[in-house]
């Protein structure tokens, strides 16, 4: 098993390669060492990176994401992240999502993290398909 600071150093190096190259390395690594690749992926591609989505990209994500999953992911997010997605919706849809988030009460951290991870995976897939754009500099800084 690789020590945590070794994983952190590797994540830093992969970040310096850029997201696309880093993803390719992780895909290859995942064939031999899926657990290690998963840990690195979690460090490299975080929910916070979604702040780099432009308005058009937010619209694309909203078309594809499951509303219950979105509510769960945003329940544990900063206000800035919530506003990013809520502002991409109609007023009525925004109100309905805010209500759904309220009805969730206090979900377990694991549930929030799983929903956030699913959103990150969706965004990475949409980016690979050319349907969304993430600012590389914003991701590297985040």
Do 89 and 62 touch, CB atoms closer than 8 A? yes
pLDDT at 63: 93
Q: Give the global pTM.
A: 0.73
Q: Name the packing angle between helices 67-75 and 79-86 (round to 10°).
A: 150
How confident is the prediction along the chain (142 residues), in pLDDT tens digits per residue?
A: 445 566 666 666 666 666 666 667 767 776 777 777 667 776 677 888 889 888 899 999 999 999 999 999 999 889 999 999 999 899 999 999 999 998 988 889 999 999 999 999 899 889 888 898 876 544 444 4
CA nearest neighbour of 51 among 61, 39, 37: 61
């Amino acid at each position: 098993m690789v020590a945590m600071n070794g994983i952190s150093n590797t994540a830093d190096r992969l970040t310096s390669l850029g997201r696309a190259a880093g993803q390719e390395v992780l895909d290859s690594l995942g064939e031999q060492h899926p657990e290690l690749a998963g840990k690195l992926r979690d460090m490299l591609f975080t929910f916070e990176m979604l702040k780099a989505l432009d308005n058009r990209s937010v619209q694309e994500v909203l078309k594809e994401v499951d509303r219950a999953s979105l509510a769960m992911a945003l329940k544990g997010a900063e206000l800035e992240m919530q506003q990013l997605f809520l502002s991409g919706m109609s007023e009525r849809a925004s109100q309905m999502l805010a209500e759904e988030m309220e009805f969730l009460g206090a979900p377990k951290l694991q549930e929030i993290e799983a929903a956030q991870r699913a959103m990150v995976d969706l965004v990475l897939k949409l980016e690979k398909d050319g349907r969304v754009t993430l600012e590389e500099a914003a991701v590297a800084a985040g």
